[in-house]
């Protein structure tokens, strides 16, 4: 079975661009990925594309062939939708296709246009990733849902808003010099604690922003990279996916995310490693409590121990396992369909020594990305390794 290498990456700036269309954003990201890979467009055998709310934000479905056209690729194109994990699922399917010999070179990525809807419109559009019958009709939205998860966590394990504030501060600090990030400004613990409440115990700085943007990668087989002379030192060596019940009320746990645990266990087994081998990670911190749940589900910390990790400096850039050196969704931004591939683009850059924050982990060779949909009803986990 062939290995899968990251040959080239592309990434728009993440931010507020209500005048730009999704197709325009993906055209930019895909061009960067293809040019970075140094491959001919006719050599790309498929496009796997992640997008969540195109029908609501742009009245545009059937985006696979549209985005292939924008990328200048004449190949079968498929759109993947799994809420905020849409492009994470697209990457997983691309990896499997290359491994089983169906393709040697695949363009994979995602895009989302959100800010043209406004805050209320985007919040409503995002809510369709929840259970319409038992949550949306009752007025549930994702700030409220993650607030319930935070309350459940505090009740079961302890912790407080100040612990969460340290996560927000850390991720904003990591984004300061990341040119792709939406928010390149520092905040303090006091800023977080004094910010307007969104849904108790979460405040404004506990939530990621509404974001427009796109990301893309060209993935190739080992044989293709060798044959074409492509310098691609970072490989995707493990992939996993997990699911959970949609509605929070139907779950066994509110303070844990079993879908992430299942995805991580599959990815670790696939790569032949364990959680102790991970040196750096990008996790899905749509809200600060989500980072806590992620690092525990991934096996980095025992249940109840993740809440104090940022405050203790364990997940900061000079900690034992730096988390979200890109700034995470919290500061880099979260154009939902683009997030899964964006995490991999950022981590590959860190591992290859090309990221502005690579100096935090100069010898790191193994990293992980964790991309979640909804209230972690769907999750993908990918393992990246530097191969000579």
Alpha-carbon distance 98 to 235, whole Å?
12
Per the listing, tokens 């809510």 go with 127
How many whole angstroms from its chain centre is CA 2?
25
**Cα→Cα distances 311→163, 165, 168, Å:** 6, 9, 11
Cβ partners under 8 Å of residue 134, min gap 6: 247, 249, 250
Instruction: Please count the CA atoms within 13 angstroms of the CA of 308 that sit on its side-chain side.
Output: 8
Alpha-carbon distance 256 to 344, whole Å?
24
User: Helix (H) and strand (E) counts for the chain?
Assistant: 13, 11
334 is catalytic: yes
Active-site pick, 84, 166, 172, 370: 84
Active-site pick, 11, 166, 172, 334: 334
Cβ partners under 8 Å of residue 298, min gap 6: 260, 261, 264, 275, 278, 281, 283, 368, 370, 381
48's enclosing H/E stretch is strand 46-50
Catalogue the active-site residues: 84, 334
């Amino acid at each position: 079975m062939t290995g899968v290498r990251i040959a080239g990456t592309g990434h728009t700036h993440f931010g507020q661009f209500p005048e730009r269309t999704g197709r325009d954003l993906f055209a930019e990201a895909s061009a960067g990925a293809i040019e970075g890979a140094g491959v001919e467009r006719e050599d790309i055998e498929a496009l796997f594309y992640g997008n969540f709310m195109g029908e609501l934000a742009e009245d545009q479905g059937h985006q696979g062939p549209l985005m292939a056209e924008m990328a200048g690729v004449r190949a079968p194109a498929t759109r993947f939708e799994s809420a905020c994990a849409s492009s994470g699922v697209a990457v997983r399917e691309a990896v499997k296709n290359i491994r089983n010999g169906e393709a040697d070179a695949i363009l994979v990525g995602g895009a989302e246009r959100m800010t043209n809807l406004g805050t209320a419109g985007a919040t409503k559009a995002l809510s369709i990733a929840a259970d319409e019958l038992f949550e949306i009709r009752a007025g549930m939205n994702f700030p409220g849902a993650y607030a319930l998860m935070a309350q459940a966590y505090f009740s079961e394990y302890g912790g407080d808003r100040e612990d969460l504030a340290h996560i927000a501060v850390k991720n904003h600090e990591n984004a300061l010099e990341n040119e792709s990030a939406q928010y390149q400004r520092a905040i303090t613990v006091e800023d977080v604690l004094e910010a307007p409440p969104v849904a108790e115990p979460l405040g404004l700085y506990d939530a990621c922003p509404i974001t427009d943007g796109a990301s893309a990668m060209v993935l190739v087989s080992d044989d293709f990279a060798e044959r074409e002379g492509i310098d691609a030192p970072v490989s995707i060596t493990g992939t996993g996916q997990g699911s959970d019940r949609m509605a929070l009320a139907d779950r066994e746990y509110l303070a844990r995310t079993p879908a992430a645990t299942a995805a991580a266990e599959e990815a670790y087994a696939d790569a032949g490693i364990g959680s102790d081998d991970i040196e750096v990670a990008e996790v899905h911190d749509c809200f600060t409590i989500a980072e806590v749940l992620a690092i525990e589900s991934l096996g980095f910390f025992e249940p109840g121990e993740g809440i104090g990790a940022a405050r203790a400096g364990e997940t900061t850039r000079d900690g034992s396992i730096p988390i979200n050196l890109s700034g995470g969704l919290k500061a880099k931004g979260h154009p939902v369909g683009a997030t899964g591939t964006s995490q991999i683009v950022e981590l590959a850059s860190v591992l290859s020594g090309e990221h502005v924050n690579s100096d935090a982990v100069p010898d790191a060779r193994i990293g992980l990305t964790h991309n979640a949909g909804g209230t972690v009803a769907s999750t993908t986990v990918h393992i990246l390794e530097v191969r000579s």
